[in-house]
């Protein structure tokens, strides 16, 4: 039999019509209870792995992920938004989740199968047809890398290590979790923070600054996948009370990190004098002075790692915030990476 062009044309026309007819008939089952055929399951996972691997090539350089300061914020977010499906070292996945199709994987088992770049691709963009969502804020690659750093630690974590990292609390003697296992204190408790923390110290900040920040997260004008999810669990009416709670706390006195005195001195000059040649204003012309605008944050005693990260976000245009955030975007524009570390060292030790 000779296949002619007209036969191919008829086939091209009929094939989609036949597919529509099968879909319209209802003969194709969409029951999750029946599972996939083995070949279907293999094909879907094969497509996913190839897709992730191909796109991970464009991820670029993988930053160092061995910084312990990267883990706590990501661990708290994991408990809030991920553990309900993937389980955690503290709690297994519930039977209702295991009945999903496909069931979310046990990450302690599958994480070692992926490279750092591939994990970044999955966390940032999610996976279609699986229920795995994209990261809430696509512009915060630093948060996504923090999650990758946490995932790398996850396979070796036991329940106690996970509880310490995530701030999970309310575990009873029977292993039950309280209705609010994660709270603001899970991440922001003074006892959990040190100079290498990317999570800020809130105690003693002005009520105006804290409330503006909470509102900016809620209104998505200050991008943060972690904080937008956290604030999304709160009522708008309760934000002033929360801001007042931290504003009325007294910061805990602690010994600062041992920064290089030369670095601190460079930071002091920038803080007190700025750098006129680059049109960089003095930090202390706005911050930490008598009569300062209460909407400006207090920098003295803040964690160095947090300050450096915020300066980098301001410089890249990824920070956002209240109506004053553009002032810092302009001020940070001409700062170099060593300026970030110098200013952060000065204020953390001040």
Q: What is the distance between the alpha carbons of residues 27 and 167, in angstroms, rounded to a whole number?
A: 49
191 found inside a domain: no
Specify the pLDDT at position 173: 45
78 and 146 fall within a common domain: yes
50 found inside a domain: no
β-bridge mates for residue 275, sequence order: 280
Q: What is the pLDDT of residues 128-179, one digit of tens each?
A: 989 899 999 999 999 999 999 999 999 999 999 999 999 987 654 444 555 5
* Residues spanned by the domain of 210: 200-247
Q: What is the distance between the alpha carbons of residues 12 and 238, in angstroms, rounded to a whole number?
A: 60
336 and 267 fall within a common domain: yes
pTM of the shown model = 0.90
Tens place of pLDDT for every residue, the chain, 350 residues?
Answer: 566 777 788 888 888 888 889 889 988 888 888 888 899 999 999 999 999 999 999 998 999 999 999 999 999 999 999 999 999 999 888 899 999 999 999 999 999 999 999 999 999 999 998 989 999 999 999 999 999 999 999 999 999 999 999 998 765 444 455 555 788 999 999 989 999 999 999 999 999 999 999 999 999 999 999 999 999 989 999 999 999 999 999 988 776 567 899 999 999 999 999 999 999 999 999 999 999 999 999 999 999 999 999 999 999 999 998 889 999 998 999 999 999 999 999 999 98
Specify the pLDDT at position 3: 66
Q: Which two tokens stand for residue 268?
A: 């002091």
- Identify the residue whose tokens are 């597919």: 19
37 found inside a domain: no
- Domain of 285, CATH number, reads 1.10.760.10
12 found inside a domain: no
- Exposure string over 16-55, b if 16+ CB within 10 A, otherwise e: eeeeeeeeeeeeeeeeeeeeeeeeeeeeeeeebeeebeeb
Task: List the one residue out of 170, 171, 169, 225 whose CA is nearest residue 192.
Answer: 169
4 found inside a domain: no
Local structure of residue 339 (DSSP, 8 states): H
93 and 158 fall within a common domain: yes
Residue 140 backbone phi and psi in degrees, to 5: -105, 70
Burial of 270 (0-12, 13-18, 19+ CB in 10 A): buried
265 and 239 fall within a common domain: no
Local structure of residue 220 (DSSP, 8 states): T
Residue 280 backbone phi and psi in degrees, to 5: -100, 115
Number of structural domains in the chain: 3
Say if CB 255 and CB 282 are below 8 A apart. no
Local structure of residue 91 (DSSP, 8 states): S
19 found inside a domain: no
């Amino acid at each position: 039999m000779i296949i002619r062009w007209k036969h191919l044309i008829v086939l091209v026309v009929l094939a989609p019509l036949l597919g529509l007819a099968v879909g319209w008939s209802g003969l194709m089952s969409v029951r999750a209870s029946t599972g996939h055929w083995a070949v279907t399951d293999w094909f879907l996972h094969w497509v996913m792995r190839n897709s992730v691997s191909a796109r991970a090539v464009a991820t670029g350089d993988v930053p160092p992920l061995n910084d312990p300061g990267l883990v706590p914020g990501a661990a708290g977010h994991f408990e809030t938004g991920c553990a309900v499906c993937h389980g955690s070292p503290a709690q297994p996945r519930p039977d209702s989740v295991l009945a999903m199709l496909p069931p979310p994987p046990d990450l302690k088992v599958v994480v070692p199968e992926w490279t750092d770049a591939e994990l970044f691709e999955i966390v940032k963009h999610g996976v279609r047809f699986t229920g795995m969502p994209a990261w809430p804020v696509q512009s915060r690659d630093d948060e996504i890398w923090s999650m990758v750093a946490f995932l790398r630690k996850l396979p070796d974590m036991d329940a106690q290590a996970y509880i310490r990292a995530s701030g999970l609390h309310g575990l009873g003697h029977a292993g039950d979790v309280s209705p609010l296992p994660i709270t603001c204190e899970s991440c922001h408790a003074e006892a959990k923070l040190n100079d290498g923390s990317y999570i800020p110290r809130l105690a003693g900040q002005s009520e105006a600054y804290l409330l503006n920040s909470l509102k900016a997260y809620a209104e998505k004008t200050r991008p943060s996948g972690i904080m937008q999810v956290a604030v999304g669990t709160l009522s708008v009416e309760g934000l002033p009370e929360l801001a007042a709670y931290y504003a009325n706390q007294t910061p805990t006195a602690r010994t600062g990190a041992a920064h290089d005195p030369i670095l601190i001195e460079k930071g002091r000059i920038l803080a007190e004098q700025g750098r006129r040649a680059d049109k960089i204003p003095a930090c202390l012309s706005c911050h930490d002075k008598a009569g300062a605008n209460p909407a400006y944050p207090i920098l003295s005693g803040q964690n160095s790692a947090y300050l450096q990260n915020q300066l980098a976000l301001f410089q890249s245009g990824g920070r956002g915030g209240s109506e004053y955030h553009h002032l810092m975007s302009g001020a940070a524009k001409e700062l170099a990476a060593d300026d970030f570390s110098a200013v952060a060292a000065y204020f953390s030790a001040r």
